[in-house]
Amino acid sequence: MDSPILIHLVENIVLNPALERPLYLQLADALLNFIKKGKLRSGQKLPSTRDVAGLLHLNRITVAKAYDELQMQGWLESFVGRGTFISSHLIDHEPKTLGGSLQPNALKTAGFFVPDQDFPDKTSDIPIPELHLDDGYPDPRLAPLKELYRAYRNQLTRGGLYHRFGSYSDAAGPQYYRETLSDYLNTTRGLRTTAQNILSVRGTLMGINLVCTALIRPGDVVVSGVPGWKRADHNFLHAGARHIGIPVDEHGLVVDQLREICKKQKVRMVYVTPHHHYPTTVSLRIDRRLELLRLANEYGFIIFEDDYDFDFHYKHRPLSPLASADENGMVIYCGSFSKSFSPAFRMGYLVAAENVIEHLARIRILLDRQGDHMLDNAMADIVQDGTLQRYTRKAIPIYEERRNLFCDLLSNELNDAVTFTVPEGGMTVWTTFNDAINLELLARKAYQKGLLLSDGKTHHYPDYKTNSIRLGFASATKEELIRSVALLKRII
């Protein structure tokens, strides 16, 4: 070995036999690190395997395997009778970033520009305390999870596995699921669909994003209510649309303002949650429903109907979706099973005219070749055998009882601090707090004491501020609701 520099480099390599990574790969990693840092340069001859083995007290075969690994990756090249060299195809360089200085931690901060967009923060993976007044989630303790598990397992025990799962299938979803869902929606929601009108998606957000990608172009006008669901709003903005917010009152979206907008400019889509408006939970009154459909027919805009918790209505039968009265194919109807089971289950669907579903399925392939057909078919099984319907019938009176208790607690224990309207359905109470109460501080103190609730910032808009939050009651037992309100009362 002629070069003292190479001797020094090799002698300072530290290998750890206790690690799970084999020694030859640890040695290959060390040599590759030298190459990347410019300590070993293109065309430079490496010490023989015998010399390296002697310096590091290794078996010669271990060193040979490390050399072979780097040679297969293209970092080294070997010549019979001459030895092993750093590849001549590499370009020698000093490790620099675009700014001319070393990047302190490339795993934390990329070397390229990342745009800073005003989108909602991703859901934080923070510990969930025992008590929670959430955004309006179901109680998974009531959901037929065992039945869904058995149905999912049965997908793997039936014959014809290759026929069903051995290759890619329809991006719109498996035929069995789409047929079952079509029958279910026709029966429960008064729709008039076939399997060709159904597209399986992984929850409502995917449905919104897919429609924005496929049908919204930069500059298109999208209208929705304020306050609204910001994750939907930001999908519109991400698609390059011009978003216009119009007010929501105690009767839902103020359709009169939509009419005035349509007179002045072309509207491409209106996003609406008519059953229980998000976040205020109010229902869109019948005259406004009919006018919204009439305006869509007159001005040719899409109605995206987000019916996220159709099944849970307590005062009377659930209101029929806009899609059930749509005679001209103007409505794209979106629903989700996540509100029946748990947000962890990403199961949703889009319903629209056949040509729209075909177009969306083609676009969906660019994002997700197909959904989870095993889960779709398992869901179809528990719809076919009536499990889902029995669960819904069982859950509604339980959630109604929790709603009644929770509203009584708010009235009796927090009467001076909050105002609200008892919701006719859904899983949450839109609650306005006294202006003297700082919701951000309240949420922080509550979390420290073991209660999770929103700080309300997600419902703020540039021209709309409210000291209101959604307090979900469905996912908590009656005893948990009592403890939660008592804790809130102590903090306030």
The average pLDDT across 202-219 equals 94
Which are the contacts of 253, defined by CB distance < 8 A and separation ≥ 6? 225, 246, 272, 274, 277, 284, 288, 292
**Distance from the Cα of residue 339 to its chain's centroid:** 14
Q: Is 241 left (phi over 0), alpha (psi -120 to 50) or beta?
A: beta
The average pLDDT across 80-105 equals 69
Cβ pair 340, 306 in contact under 8 A: no
Q: Could you give phi then psi for residue 314, rounded to 5 degrees? A: -110, -35
Confidence (pTM): 0.80
d(CA 314, CA 192): 25
| Run of H or E including 9 | helix 4-11
d(CA 401, CA 139): 13
d(CA 222, CA 215): 11
Cβ pair 31, 23 in contact under 8 A: no
Instruction: Label residue 407 by pLDDT band (50, 70, 90).
Output: very high
pLDDT at 25 over 80: yes
pLDDT at 215 over 80: yes
Give the per-residue pLDDT at 1: 47
The total number of residues shown for the chain amounts to: 492
Q: Both ends of the chain: CA-CA distance in Å?
A: 77
Strands 302-306 and 331-336: parallel
Tell me which of 3.55.40.10, 3.40.50.300, 3.40.640.10, 1.20.810.10 is the CATH number of domain 145-389: 3.40.640.10
CA angle 427, 320, 311 (to 5 degrees): 30
The average pLDDT across 147-153 equals 85
The DSSP-derived string for 185-219 is HHHHH-----GGGEEEESSHHHHHHHHHHHH--TT
pLDDT at 242 over 90: yes
pLDDT at 293 over 90: yes
Residue 405: what residue type? L
d(CA 16, CA 20): 9
The token pair at 320 is 């029929």
The token pair at 383 is 């719809």
d(CA 324, CA 331): 9
Give the per-residue pLDDT at 366: 87
- pLDDT tens for 303-312 read 999 998 888 8
Average pLDDT taken over every residue of the chain: 88
DSSP E strand boundaries for 256-403: 269-272, 302-306, 331-336, 348-351
pLDDT at 381 over 60: yes
Give the torsion sign (CA, 104, 110, 116, 120). negative
Give the per-residue pLDDT at 98: 43
The token pair at 226 is 């304020």
d(CA 129, CA 237): 34
What CATH architecture applies to the domain 131-138+395-491? Answer: Alpha-Beta Complex (3.90)
The average pLDDT across 45-49 equals 91
How distant, in Å, are the alpha carbons of 197, 216, 219, 228, 229 from that of 271? 20, 12, 16, 10, 10
Give the per-residue pLDDT at 312: 86
Strands 418-420 and 348-351: unpaired
Cβ pair 268, 220 in contact under 8 A: yes
pLDDT at 124 over 70: no
Q: Break the chain into its structural domains and give their ranges.
A: 4-86, 131-138+395-491, 145-389
pLDDT at 172 over 60: yes
What CATH architecture applies to the domain 4-86? Answer: Orthogonal Bundle (1.10)
The token pair at 225 is 């209510």
pLDDT at 94 over 80: no
* Three-class SS state of 428: strand
